[in-house]
Every structure is written in structure tokens, then in C-alpha cells.
């Protein structure tokens, strides 16, 4: 049975020693009084909830899965899921970073980020039930009518009701412009009321027994809507209609007609949903549903990165424990555990390489995600408009990197962890193969990682001639200027400086090629995103090493700091060099991919 | 539902146009009369068996799995498995490359290689039942007593009985020196008869309902055996004892006590086996069981590479078909299917990259595996002793590369194929996620890929100062000399020549470092194996491109040749450049892995 220890020390290091988030947050009026102790205490309690309440349900939830009663259309979640959710609601966890106006606790988004990392590490499938609600909460908060807000936001904030995102249809996933679900005005009903008909698939947390009502946010077409993505509107379709007094009314014909048999996240109900004239109300403006949905999708993309961050950490922890305890073979340089029949496998360099890869991916991903979350807090609430705009740009730039880089790394990391277990890793009861299966979906949903890479290179970089990238680059330059003379930092700063320099030329070069042939973007984007991911990781590892080295120099003997330096060193020596090959393949041009009609006949 | 088309054309290309295997085989007395038509006809029939008989059972076998009756210790395999096996035996397929002395058809090993690629592509879990028998056949053929051979080889050859390899115990997998199963002489029984007691785990095809008897080859310790790996002996332990007249006698107490719940290969029974004083007979010499077992293990390692080769091919085929039919988004360079609501996703460069990666891994792996199989035929049966020795050396060198490189590539390829399917790839019914789960075990069993890399760098390269590597290098040099002046081949020959040159220095450098610190081998070996894999792939892709270019120049308009050139071009532009980063990380030294006690505390 796997176990999970919340990585509180590393979170605190990033939050307070590296990023100094309290200072940043205190500049935002609603977080002016927040202090480190409060934030730490919340995360400590959150970690307890994750490790004690939801983690013990992870393996059993995977074995058991969800079941649908085809007559009642009701779904039963795995044993214990419902009770854990009740505890979650009772503990006020759903409200953590929600708006106090609707009953929220008003903590910054970064608190939720850290809390959700732990929930995901403990049990991704379970966490998707409350996780999806957040997207619905945010879309309604940003685009809902007063009536919608008044009726639904308090319930979503408390967690009493949950939410979903109903986008995908059998014939359209990435390309939502193709969707067919129809919305027709209801004669005699208040304006903005429609009957919605169509079929949705892949609806995570789409039906379950954990809450009395489910708030579906559904994309559909109005009768006179233009074709394509400019004719899509967003609707709120509750499972049960809500009476004027807030009590539950009639069952809305929005039914779960099937559950997918998936590779992983078995504990989450991935529903096929049939809308058969279900009553819904318009959210935001007609035909502008995609824009409203993007509020949810951007948050969801950061959330998906966070899922793999959690899995990376928990897979690492369990593989590390196994590597210390499993005795097998002797070290090549002679026995290390002479009193034992064999050495623990952690003596073998490649076992360490696999463990350190997972550890470095977790720590780099954590730094990037926490940074990004604070930027989001600033983008949403900072009193200075320029700070808001700058922060928003950085979040926009980093979102596809968080989503794709962390989930690709997470799949590699969980697989490395599994490999450390050898044959035992392939067995369900060990728990690590579940992490691999669960992590696999994160590379696909909320926009495949290829889509993320096109978003990064096309929209976030080339569309503004690299302006946002240069904005982030300024921070890197500042670090280089500050630490460039520090000999002890040379092993971290030098490769970072080289890559930062190459990145500018590399980007310009692709930009010129893309100007002549737009397909060049698609030929380079996936490699480009990985290079960008390494640039960001290298920056944060250099910053983290700098803090750690200063602590060590000051006489602090906490082994945490030496550990951080060793992990940073490993990162630069063993993971970062991938950039050399990636730039070469990205530069090879799109012809070797497109002039292949004979090969792909 | 996935489909499978046997890749006969590509096999024939490698067999006859690139490697000219008939010429090589005809130099071996027992294959002197073999011709291309016969070989092709056998493979065509074999492909039919795979695609028509076992492929349709793959997805259902995965869903259904195997079940154990805990009272009778009998295992039921998925529906249809037993009947397919009966057809296999009846068709004489088990006997394909077996010794005619025991009823075999005497075809070369390379025929079996190609046949098994197709069986694995069709249904890896099913194929492991007959596949494991081959290992038992070979160990008995090489080391069995006359009595053992007479009794068991005809049954294993016909496929009437199947075989297993019982190595692993709960506390020892890689490190067989730790094993505890005991063999005690039976007083009054013929010499070489023992009672065997112990517990084995992870026994593939360890129990099933497909054959009336199962021949277990079991590693155990004699009473007076030295400690460690020098005290292990090999025993033949049949499920049912065999009477003098060949009929089945008493049930031997070798019982399946449990089946593992695995990530994949659900159709194969991975058994926990309890031996409770089971009667067995010694195979080979006392305390030399590991050597005898290595006969099986080496063949098994090539077999595991072949499993991932099959999965790579079938995953590619299905992803290609989907990419042509799934309409989603428009090409970045403008609509391509203007009469459709969207373009087929194959217009997107990164979709092509994923498909071509799988295709190139399949074709490179096929060329290497077929080459290796012919070398094995020569190693076993060539009349010239020097040819036998040289061939054996090349097989020894390539075996860990076939096992680890093809299985690592196969996992990447099946994941790429799954990614092409987007969300649909995560759903069981689509079939491709099963390929990912099945492919995952191949990186672990029969020696993890880390163990393979240590075998390659430590035993096959450094232990003989690179002599075998130079032997293979001579072939590369010959190709470079032959094609170095051909301008059209420059894009293939130049990178090959550069890497061949670097490889010598790279190997020498690691050798020197390892001389000072043996752990350096473990710090470099995994990266080293991937570089070596690319050297071999680059060599075969250059050879294949050369043949194809000559055909095109001669006016042959079969699009197969242009396809091959395009795939080779893709390989060199997009996959081969990984070597740049790998050499850099391998060179970074073992300190960044071993001086990490604080990080891995």
C-alpha cells in the first residue's frame, strides 16, 4: 500500500524563502493581513486531510470504480468517496479561495494551488469532483447574471453542490467549433431560458452520489448562431431545477447514459451525458460561450499541471522508500550493506537517476506552479493596473508550460518510479502503476499537450513578437546579473545564461520560418515548449540553489538546503541537457514531417 | 475495435532486399534448400493466423483476464484462448523452428522471429503461452538428459505441452543468487530425482487450461550448494508426472496459489507457484543452473524486444488509420479538406511526428531484430567455426540493445499512438491504451532495461575492450566506404559516420573512468545503450535507404521505396539527434548521482 507525506517543507521553502509570496500578497488589499503562519497552518491542515482522508481511498477507488444504474441514471462512486466529500465540505475546504461575498474564505489562489497539489498526490480521481466545481464557480463568478450568482455561487462555494464542464461531443474535442448541441428559447419563460438538446461525452465528475445537485456548464448553439466557434454559447444546466426559495425542484432531463471504461482515474465518473430538452440559462453573451468557457479552461489547465505535480511527488516518495528497503545485488564499487545478503537498490546509480529525475520534476514543477499561482492572484486583484496586466501576461505565457511540461514530466516520473519497483511495480496492489495510468490522461485532456505547444509558440510568443517572453526574460537577466559573479553559482547560472541567450535567437529563427510557412509552428512547437519549460525550470532551480547556498554559507545546518543544491546540480547535469537535442530537432524544419505522404499512405 | 495487418512487405524487404538472408541461410547445411518463396509463404500463413485467430481475442482477453479456482488450483484463460491454441498446435506453428529430430519443422530461427512479431502485434498476452514454451524447449535441448529430451521435447515441439521459467521469488528477481527454493534428493529414486520445495512468483503462463501438461523449469538449491549464484541448479518439474509409456501420471505438487493483478497482459496468467515437495529432475550439472537458464534468458530477451516490436507496429497502424479519418481543426497553412467541416488530423505536423516516430521505431527495430535472428541461426548452425563465433559475439552484443532499446521505443511509440487518438485513446474499447499497458512490462521483465544496459556496457563492451563493438563497427565502416561518395546518401551516411567516430572515443572515455571507479559504468550505461541503439538503427536505416534509392534510381515506381526514404529521413532528422544530449548526460559523471545522500534522505 502506498503512502503519502505532504511536502510541506518544500512548499514553505518556495513560498517564503524563494518567492516571498506574503510580501507580494500583502500588496493586494484583500490579502493585506495574511501572514506566513496562517498560510502554513492552513496547508498543514490541508495536508492532513489529503493524507488521512482521501489518500487511503485511492487504491480501492481505482479497483472499485464507479457504477451507473441505467434505469435511474444515478452513479455510485467508490466506497468512502461520498463520506470523504462530506468531510471536505464540512471542513470548509471547498470555500478556501472563494469570494467572501458568496461565503468563501477569501484566501489567495496560491493557497488552493498548494492544497490541491496535496489532494492530487493523495487521490487524483477523488479530487476531480471538487476540482471541476472550481471551474464552474469561476465561469459563473466572471460571467453569470446576478440571479445565477445568487442561486448557485453560495452552493458551489460551500461545496454543497458540484459543477462540471460539458464541452466535448463524440465528433469534437479540440475543435469545439464543430459542436452540435442545440439551445432553443422557451416560449413564455423568462429571457435567457432555453431547452438544450444534444449529447456530450468525457464529462468528468459528470454524475455522482456525492452532492444533491450538479451544476453543468454546457456549450451549445442558439438557433440563429453563426457556424463554427463564433456561434457557441454557454448555459447553466442544473441536474435539479432550483425553486425561487432555493430548494430543489424538478429533475432536469440531463442524464448520464454511460460511463467510460478508462485506463485510469477509475474513481472519477467520466460520463456520457444526454440532454433531452434540459432547461438551461444563458451564461454571458450569446455566441460568446467559448470566451466565457476559457475562464474555466485556463484555470483547468493549471489544475491539470497540478494533478501531475501531485502524482510526481507521491510516486517519488514511494519509490524512494522502496529503493531503500529492497535488497538486490551489490554496488558495482563493492558491498555497501555488508551485514545484509545484498545492498539496497538505492546504491545503484541508475536507480538514483530515476529517483532524482522524479524529485527534480516535482520540485521544479512546484516552484513554477506556485509562482504562477501568485501571479494569478496579482493578475486578479492587484490594485496597480500595470501589475495586473504584467502578471496576467506571465500567467498566459506559463499556463501551457505548466500544463504540458509538468504532465509530460509527470508521466516520465511516475514511470521511473514504477521502474524502480521492478516487477512489483507492475502489480496493482503496489500502487505505483495506478499513478502511471492516472497521470496518462493529464497529457490529453483540457487541450492535448500538442495543443498547448501551439498555444505557447503561436499565441503566447510569436503573436506578440516575443514581448511576453522578454518580460519573463528580464527576471532571468536580473538573476544572472545578481549571481553571475558568484563562483559557487556558476554551475547553475552558466547553463541558464547560455540557454536564455539561445532562446532569443531560437525564437526569432522559428518566427521568420513561420512567417514564410505557418506549418513551421506545428513542426517546432512541441520541442519548443520543452525547451521553454527547461528555461523556466533552470531559472527556478538557480534561484532555489542560490537561496540554499546562502543558507549554508550562513551556517544553517538544515540538510534540506544541501539536498536542494544536490537536486539542482542533478537537474542541470542530467535533465537540462535535453535542450541541446530539442533545439536541433525543432530546427530541422517541417518538411521532414510533411513530405511524408508515401510513408504515411 | 483495433485491427492488425501483418507487415509482410516490410519483412520481405528486410529479409530479401536488405539482408539477403536466403544466401546466408543456404550456407547452413540444414537450410541449404530454403528459398524466399517458401519463407514468404510461411510468413503469409503465419500472418493470417495472427490477424484472424489471435488478434480478435486481444481486447476481450484484456477485459476478461484469467481466473483461478483456489480449490482445484486450475486457471481458466479468457474465452477463445484455448481454442486458438488448439488451432496453433494443429497448424504445426509450435514446431516451426524446432529440431526435426523431435518433430520440428527445422525452419531457421529468423522465420520464428518474424512469425512471433506478428503474434505479438496481434495479442501479446496470448503469445506468451507458446512463447514461454520455447525457452523451456531450448534449455532442455541444450542441457537435458537423453531421457528428458525423449520424454519432453516432442511434446514441447508439437506444442501439446507448454513450458515455463520459474526463477523469481518474492525477495529476489534480478538477484537470483538470493533464491531459497530447495531441492532434496529422493531416496531410492533414480539419480537426478529431487523433491523441490519453495515459492515462486511472476511465473508467466504458469498455469492455464490450454494444454494437458505444463513443463516447469525451476531454479532451486541443492542441500550442499554454495551460497549465492554459484549454488543454483535447474530442475524440470512437470505439472503431471509422466509414466514410462509417455502417458500422464500423478499430479505433481506444483500449484498455482494466486494470480497477480497486473497493469496489462491480463490475458496471460502470471502465477504464484508453490512447490510442495514436487518431484523434479536435474537439468544440466549441479550448481550450474544459472548457465543453463541463460540459454532460455537470452532467447527470452530477444523475445521481449519482439513483443514491443509487434506492439509498436499495431499501435502505429491503428493510429494512422484514425489520423486519416478523424476530422478536427484546420491545417495551419490553410484548409486541406475543403469539402469537409474540418481537416483530418494527419495534416498537423505533430500528429505526423508521432506517427512517424512509431513507424521509424517499428522499421528500425524490425531490421535489427531480423538481422539478429539470422546471426543467431549462424551462431547455432553455421559450418564454419569462426562464423559461428563471430555471429555469436554479435548476437551477444545486440541482445541487450534489442531488449532495452526496442522496449523503451515501444513504450514511447504506443504512447504516441495513444496521444494521436486524444481522449478516445484513454478509453478501453479503442484498444490503444491496452498496447501501452502491455508494452510497459517489456521494459521490466527478463532483466530490467537498466540491467540490460549494464550487461551491454560492462560485459559486452568494456569486458573485451570494445572488441565486439569494433567487429560490428567494421560493417558500419564498410557501408560508409561504399556509400560515402554517393551524394544522395549524404544525409544518412554523414550523421552515421560522425556517430560511429564519436562512439569509439565515447566508449574509451567511459572505459577509463570505469577503471578508476566501477560505479561510472552504472552512471553512464542507460544513456550509453540508447546511443548504441541509435548507432545500430542509423546503420540499418542507411542500408535500407541505400537499397530504396537504388530501386528508385532504377525506375522502380513502387511507392514503398519512397516511403522508406522518407522514414529514414525523418529518423535522422527527428529521432537520431537525441544522441547529442545522451552523450552529454552520460559524460557528466556519476558524482551527480551518488553524491546525493541529502537529496535522497
Q: Do A574 and B588 touch (CB under 8 A)?
A: yes
- pLDDT, tens only, A249-268: 999 999 999 999 999 999 99
Give chain B positions within 8 Å (CB) of A173. 328, 422-423
Give the Cβ contact number of residue B181 at 10 Å: 20
Q: What are phi and psi of B492, to 5 degrees?
A: -100, -40
Residue matched to cell numbers 527534480 = A360
d(CA A570, CA B443): 24
Q: How far is CA A420 from CA A23, A348, A353, A443, B168, in A?
A: 41, 11, 10, 22, 17
Residue A126: is its pLDDT beyond 90? yes
Cβ within 8 Å of residue B1, ≥6 positions away: B59, B429, B431
Q: Min CA distance, B238 vs chain A (Å)? A: 25
d(CA A114, CA A41): 12
Q: What angle do CA A54, A59, A63 make, to 5 degrees?
A: 125
The three cell numbers locating residue A361:
520534476
Residue of A nearest to B567 (CA): A599
Tell me which residue of A136, A83, A92 sits closest to A112, measured CA to CA: A92
Tell me which residue of A401, A400, A418, A364 sits closest to A574, measured CA to CA: A364
Beta strands in B396-510, from DSSP E residues, in sequence order: none
B23 is catalytic: no
Element (H, E) at B562: helix B559-570
- pLDDT, tens only, B473-511: 999 999 999 999 999 999 999 999 999 999 999 999 999
Residue A179 has what DSSP assignment?
Answer: -
Strand partners, A99: none
Question: What ranges do the domains of chain B cover?
Answer: 8-147, 162-290, 294-591
Q: Min CA distance, A511 vs chain B (Å)? A: 14
Handedness of CA A355, A357, A359, A361 (dihedral sign): negative
Q: Do A518 and B202 touch (CB under 8 A)?
A: no
pLDDT of residue A292: 84
pLDDT of residue B294: 79
Name residues of chain B where pLDDT drops below 70. none
pLDDT of residue A350: 98
Q: Min CA distance, A250 vs chain B (Å)? A: 33
Residue A331: is its pLDDT beyond 90? yes
Burial class (CB in 10 A: 0-12, 13-18, 19+), A512: exposed
Q: What are phi and psi of A496, to 5 degrees?
A: -60, -45
Q: What are phi and psi of B421, to 5 degrees?
A: -75, -5
Instruction: Among A448, A576, A600, A601, pick the best mutation site for testing chain B contact (most B Cβ within 10 A).
Output: A600
Which among A363, A446, A483, A520 is annotated as catalytic? Answer: A446
Instruction: Among A259, A332, A491, A527, pick the best mutation site for testing chain B contact (most B Cβ within 10 A).
Output: A332
Instruction: Among B63, B352, B565, pick the best mutation site for testing chain A contact (most A Cβ within 10 A).
Output: B352
d(CA B519, CA A510): 42
pLDDT of residue A548: 98
Q: Min CA distance, A146 vs chain B (Å)? A: 35
Give chain B positions within 8 Å (CB) of A436. 263, 440
Q: Do B139 and B220 contact (CB within 8 A), yes or no? A: no
Banded model confidence at residue A294, pLDDT cuts 50, 70, 90: confident
Burial class (CB in 10 A: 0-12, 13-18, 19+), A183: buried
Give SS3 for A280.
strand
Q: Do B351 and A450 touch (CB under 8 A)?
A: yes
- pLDDT, tens only, A67-89: 999 999 999 999 999 999 999 99
Q: Please state the three-class secondary structure of A64-127 as a single string.
A: HCCEEECCCCEEECCCCHHHHHHHHHHCCHHHCCCCHHHCCCCCCHHHHHHHHHHHHHHHHHHH
Overall fold of domain B294-591: Butyryl-CoA Dehydrogenase, subunit A; domain 3 (1.20.140)
The three cell numbers locating residue A419:
521502474
Q: Do A154 and A242 contact (CB within 8 A), yes or no? A: no
d(CA B406, CA B410): 6
Q: Do A343 and A327 contact (CB within 8 A), yes or no? A: yes
Is 1.10.540.10 the CATH number for A8-147?
A: yes
CA B151 distance to own-chain centroid: 28
- pLDDT, tens only, A467-502: 999 999 999 999 999 999 999 999 999 999 999 999
Helices in A421-448 by DSSP H: which ranges?
432-442
Q: Would you put residue B542 in left (φ > 0), alpha (ψ -120 to 50) or beta?
A: alpha
Q: How far is CA B371 from CA B85, B380, B391, in A?
A: 29, 14, 10
pLDDT of residue B54: 98
Give chain B positions within 8 Å (CB) of A174. 328-329, 422
Residue A295: is its pLDDT beyond 80? no
pLDDT of residue A298: 81
Cβ within 8 Å of residue B4, ≥6 positions away: B50, B51, B55, B118, B121, B122, B314, B317
- Give me the half-sphere count of Cα atoms (radius 13 Å) on the Cβ side of residue A174: 25
Q: How far is CA A433 from CA A357, B203, B405, B469, in A?
A: 17, 19, 21, 36
Q: Do B144 and B151 contact (CB within 8 A), yes or no? A: no
Going by DSSP bridges, is the β-strand pair A182-185/A162-166 parallel, antiparallel, or unpaired?
unpaired
Handedness of CA B386, B392, B397, B401 (dihedral sign): positive
Give SS3 for A163.
strand
Residue A252 has what DSSP assignment?
Answer: P
Banded model confidence at residue A46, pLDDT cuts 50, 70, 90: very high
Q: What are phi and psi of A303, to 5 degrees?
A: -65, -35
pLDDT of residue B298: 81
d(CA A173, CA A260): 15
Q: Do B162 and B130 contact (CB within 8 A), yes or no? A: yes
Regarding predicted confidence, which is higher, B300 or A419?
A419
Q: What angle do CA B564, B568, B574 make, to 5 degrees?
A: 140
A109-125 burial string, b = 16+ CB within 10 Å, else e? bbbbbbbbbbbbbbbbb
- The CATH code for residues A163-286 is 2.40.110.20
Give SS3 for A215.
strand
Q: Do B579 and A578 touch (CB under 8 A)?
A: no
Residue matched to cell numbers 548452425 = B381
pLDDT of residue A444: 98
pLDDT of residue B299: 83
Cβ within 8 Å of residue B471, ≥6 positions away: B390, B393, B394, B397
Cβ within 8 Å of residue A496, ≥6 positions away: A476, A479, A480, A535, A538, A539, A542
B592 → closest Cβ in A342, A348, A569:
A569
Tell me which residue of B238, B223, B102, B245 sits closest to B166, measured CA to CA: B238
Cβ within 8 Å of residue B85, ≥6 positions away: B126, B129, B130, B159, B210, B211
A342 → closest Cβ in B178, B584, B592:
B178
Element (H, E) at A190: none
The three cell numbers locating residue A32:
493585506
pLDDT of residue B195: 98
Residue A285 has what DSSP assignment?
Answer: S
- The CATH code for residues B162-290 is 2.40.110.20
Cβ within 8 Å of residue B234, ≥6 positions away: B139, B143, B217, B218, B219, B282, B283, B284, B288, B289, B292, B293
pLDDT of residue A296: 76
d(CA A507, CA A566): 31
d(CA A529, CA A523): 12
Residue A214: is its pLDDT beyond 90? yes
DSSP codes, A286-320: TTBHHHHHHHHHHHHHHHHHHHHHHHHHHHHHHHH
Give SS3 for A499.
helix
The chain-wide mean pLDDT, for chain A, equals 97
Q: Rg of chain A's alpha carbons, rounded to an integer?
A: 24
DSSP codes, B194-257: EEEEEEEEEEET-S-SSSS-EEEEEEEB-TTPPSGGGGBEEEEEESEEE-TTS-EEEEPSEEEE
The three cell numbers locating residue B561:
521505396
Q: Do B8-147 and B294-591 agree at the fold level? A: no
Amino acid at each position: 500500500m502506498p503512502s503519502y507525506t505532504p511536502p510541506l517543507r518544500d512548499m514553505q521553502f518556495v513560498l517564503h524563502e524563494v518567492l516571498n509570496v506574503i510580501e507580494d500578497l500583502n500588496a493586494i488589499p484583500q490579502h493585506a493581513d495574511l501572514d506566513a503562519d496562517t498560510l502554513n497552518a492552513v496547508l498543514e491542515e490541508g495536508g492532513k486531510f489529503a493524507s488521512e482522508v482521501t489518500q487511503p481511498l485511492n487504491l480501492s477507488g481505482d479497483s472499485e470504480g464507479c457504477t451507473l444504474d441505467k434505469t435511474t441514471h444515478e452513479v455510485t462512486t467508490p466506497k468512502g468517496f461520498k463520506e470523504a466529500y462530506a468531510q471536505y465540505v464540512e471542513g470548509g475546504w471547498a470555500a478556501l479561495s472563494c469570494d467572501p461575498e458568496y461565503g468563501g474564505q477569501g484566501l489567495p489562489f496560491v493557497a488552493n494551488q498548494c492544497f490541491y497539489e496535496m489532494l492530487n498526490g493523495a487521490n487524483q480521481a477523488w479530487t476531480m469532483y471538487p476540482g471541476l466545481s472550481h471551474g464552474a464557480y469561476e465561469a459563473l463568478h466572471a460571467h453569470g447574471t446576478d440571479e445565477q450568482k445568487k442561486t448557485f455561487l453560495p452552493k458551489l462555494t460551500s461545496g454543497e453542490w458540484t459543477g462540471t464542464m460539458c464541452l466535448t461531443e463524440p465528433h469534437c474535442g479540440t475543435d469545439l467549433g464543430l459542436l452540435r448541441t442545440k439551445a432553443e428559447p422557451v416560449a413564455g419563460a423568462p429571457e435567457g431560458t432555453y431547452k438544450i438538446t444534444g449529447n456530450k461525452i468525457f464529462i468528468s465528475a459528470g454524475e455522482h452520489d456525492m452532492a444533491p445537485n450538479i451544476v453543468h456548464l454546457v456549450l451549445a448553439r442558439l438557433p440563429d448562431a453563426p457556424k463554427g466557434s463564433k456561434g457557441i454559447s454557454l448555459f447553466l444546466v442544473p441536474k435539479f431545477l432550483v425553486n425561487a426559495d432555493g430548494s430543489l425542484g424538478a429533475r432536469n432531463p440531463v442524464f448520464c447514459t454511460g460511463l467510460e471504461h478508462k485506463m485510469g482515474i477509475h474513481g472519477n465518473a467520466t460520463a456520457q451525458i444526454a440532454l433531452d430538452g434540459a432547461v438551461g440559462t444563458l451564461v454571458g453573451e450569446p455566441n460568446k460561450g467559448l470566451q466565457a468557457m476559457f475562464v474555466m479552461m485556463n484555470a483547468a489547465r493549471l489544475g491539470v499541471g497540478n494533478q501531475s505535480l501531485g502524482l510526481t511527488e507521491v510516486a517519488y516518495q514511494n519509490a524512494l522508500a522502496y529503493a531503500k528497503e529492497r535488497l538486490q545485488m551489490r554496488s558495482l564499487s563493492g558491498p555497501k550493506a555488508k551485514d545484509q545478503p545484498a545492498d539496497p537498490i538505492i546504491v545503484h546509480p541508475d536507480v538514483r537517476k530515476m529517483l532524482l529525475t522524479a524529485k527534480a520534476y516535482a520540485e521544479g514543477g512546484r516552484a513554477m506552479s506556485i509562482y504562477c499561482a501568485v501571479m494569478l492572484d496579482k493578475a486578479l486583484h492587484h490594485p496597480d493596473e500595470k501589475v495586473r496586466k504584467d502578471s496576467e501576461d506571465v500567467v498566459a505565457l506559463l499556463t501551457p508550460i505548466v500544463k504540458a511540461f509538468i504532465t509530460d514530466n509527470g508521466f516520465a516520473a511516475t514511470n521511473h518510479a514504477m521502474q524502480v519497483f521492478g516487477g512489483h511495480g507492475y502489480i496493482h496492489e503496489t500502487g505505483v502503476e495506478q499513478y502511471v495510468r492516472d497521470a496518462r490522461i493529464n497529457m490529453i485532456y483540457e487541450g492535448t499537450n500538442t495543443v498547448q505547444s501551439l498555444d505557447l509558440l503561436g499565441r503566447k510568443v510569436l503573436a506578440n513578437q516575443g514581448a511576453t517572453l522578454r518580460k519573463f526574460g528580464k527576471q532571468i537577466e536580473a538573476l544572472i546579473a545578481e549571481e553571475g559573479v558568484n563562483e559557487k553559482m556558476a554551475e547553475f547560472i552558466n547553463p541558464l545564461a547560455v540557454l536564455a541567450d539561445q532562446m532569443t535567437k531560437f525564437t526569432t529563427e522559428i518566427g521568420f520560418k513561420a512567417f514564410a510557412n505557418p506549418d513551421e509552428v506545428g513542426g517546432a512547437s512541441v520541442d519548443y515548449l520543452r525547451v521553454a519549460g527547461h528555461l523556466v525550470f533552470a531559472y527556478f532551480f538557480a534561484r532555489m540553489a542560490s537561496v540554499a547556498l546562502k543558507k549554508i554559507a550562513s551556517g544553517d545546518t538544515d540538510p534540506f538546503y544541501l539536498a536542494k543544491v544536490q537536486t539542482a546540480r542533478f537537474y542541470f547535469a542530467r535533465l537540462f541537457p535535453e535542450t541541446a537535442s530539442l533545439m536541433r530537432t525543432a530546427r530541422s524544419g517541417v518538411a521532414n514531417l510533411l513530405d511524408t505522404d508515401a510513408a504515411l499512405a
